[in-house]
Amino acid sequence: MANVCVVGAQWGDEGKGKIVDWLSEQADVVVRFQGGHNAGHTLVIDGRVYKLSLLPSGVVRGGKLSVIGNGVVVDPWHLVEEIEAIRAQGVDISPKTLRLADNATLILPLHRELDHFRETSNSGLKIGTTKRGIGPAYEDKVGRRAIRVIDLADAAALERKVERLLAHHNALRRGLGIGEVEAGALVADLLAIAPKVLPYADTVWRLLDAERRAGRRILFEGAQGALLDVDHGTYPFVTSSNIVSGQAATGSGLGPRAVGTVLGIAKAYTTRVGEGPFPTELFDETGEILGTRGREFGTVTGRKRRCGWFDAVLVRQTVMTSGIDGIALTKLDVLDGMSELKVCTAYRLDGETIDHLPAGQSAQARVEPVYETVEGWAASTAGARSWAELPAEAVKYVRRIEELIGAPVTVLSTSPERMDTILVKNPFES
């Protein structure tokens, strides 16, 4: 049986929650390997809704081990709040069911403040972040001055590390006209939260290796989407971590051979939150219809999502950069009743037709979509659980997408309900 890595194949919000929940039921271990609490999953289990942003999806299912890997940046105060909120819904969360990498980087209040300042000030480039401190925390990680989970266990070392951290941040804050952070107060806050966090800390790379050797099924759960990857996304309008499947190995401590099957999640159309290029974005009534029918509002932020036609060029790129074996196509039912649909098959840039999104920011802003028109369908696909229940035109649409992106649709979702799914191939049995 293969392990499975789930990655968003667009700009996030692809409906990973339902797919990840379905897969987590089959898994023994569920691992978050990148990002922070800036991206959310909504799970519906037995009629109860769970909104997760940092905790792996496995926590809401009994008998699963959930792991927050070293590739994640962790706000310890948010972690404790989220644990308590999910516990209040009757879910048992303890160190027996949840493990936190002891070498994971912490998000501190000063990171949130810096993130908020950058996004709300009149100077500099606005990325459209969630203002939760994700980017500044990753900056400190690569700058080798971060505070990590394990540092909470050594008060003397913590004080020295905080002083070193503030030598950088207070100089930065003075330049921005922000008040300085007092070291003693920050250390006190960290030591106060430490007893609530440290019981979950573990040497995760060793734990996961033992689980792998024991034959446990591991699900690597990605957050956001690969087009927000700091290397392979629409830079600089990206997040601060790698999202492509290769990060599952780096962000968990397991070797790349352990990652197994890669399942990409893509909507039957395209959405994006925040700033940045969006070649197929619609500013007309059709865009509004997609947003209304698809309930396109962010789980974590509540921000309205930008909507557009399916962009096969971008998904094809993600298939390549993440080594995607199959696609779970979601929200097909949102397209019901449209007489015709469009799919972006290429771009036009300065009079030339190209087959990929260029890396340059100005070029990305200038590309124009080349569309292929596809016949729509009048009948409903909502709730379909077999190909035979789909209108012929809907099947043709899915097959054309497969051809254009170079990957098969192995899972087709026809509503938010968990069982309204057409399964072609179980990723765990690849």
DSSP assignment of 241-260 = S--STHHHHHTTT--GGGS-
Residue 56 φ/ψ, nearest 5 degrees? -65, 155
From 37, 41, 111, 169, the catalytic residue: 41
Residue 1 clears pLDDT 60, i.e. is over it:
no
State the pLDDT confidence band at 49, using cuts at 50, 70 and 90: confident
Q: Taking a C-beta distance cutoff of 8 angstroms, is the pair 97, 66 a contact?
A: yes
Q: Taking a C-beta distance cutoff of 8 angstroms, is the pair 56, 30 a contact?
A: yes
DSSP-derived pairing of the beta strands 340-349 and 368-375: antiparallel
Q: Taking a C-beta distance cutoff of 8 angstroms, is the pair 357, 314 a contact?
A: yes
Q: Which two tokens stand for residue 399?
A: 């097959």
Annotation says 13 is catalytic: yes
Average confidence score pLDDT of the chain: 93
What are the strands, taking DSSP E only, across 248-357? 261-267, 270-272, 306-308, 310-311, 326-330, 340-349, 352-354
Helix axes 76-87, 183-197, angle to 10 degrees: 30
Higher pLDDT, 21 or 76: 76
Neighbouring residues of 243: CB distance < 8 A, sequence distance ≥ 6: 7, 8, 34, 35, 222, 223, 224, 225, 226, 228, 229, 233
Least confident of 118-132, 144-158, 168-182, 330-344: 118-132
Residue 384 clears pLDDT 90, i.e. is over it:
yes
Least confident of 54-63, 240-249, 337-346, 368-377: 54-63
Annotation says 41 is catalytic: yes
Q: What is the mean pLDDT of residues 210-229?
A: 95
Residue 167 clears pLDDT 60, i.e. is over it:
yes
* Distance of alpha carbon 271 from alpha carbon 426, whole angstroms: 26
* Distance of alpha carbon 244 from alpha carbon 232, whole angstroms: 8
* Distance of alpha carbon 102 from alpha carbon 170, whole angstroms: 26
From 13, 75, 151, 229, the catalytic residue: 13
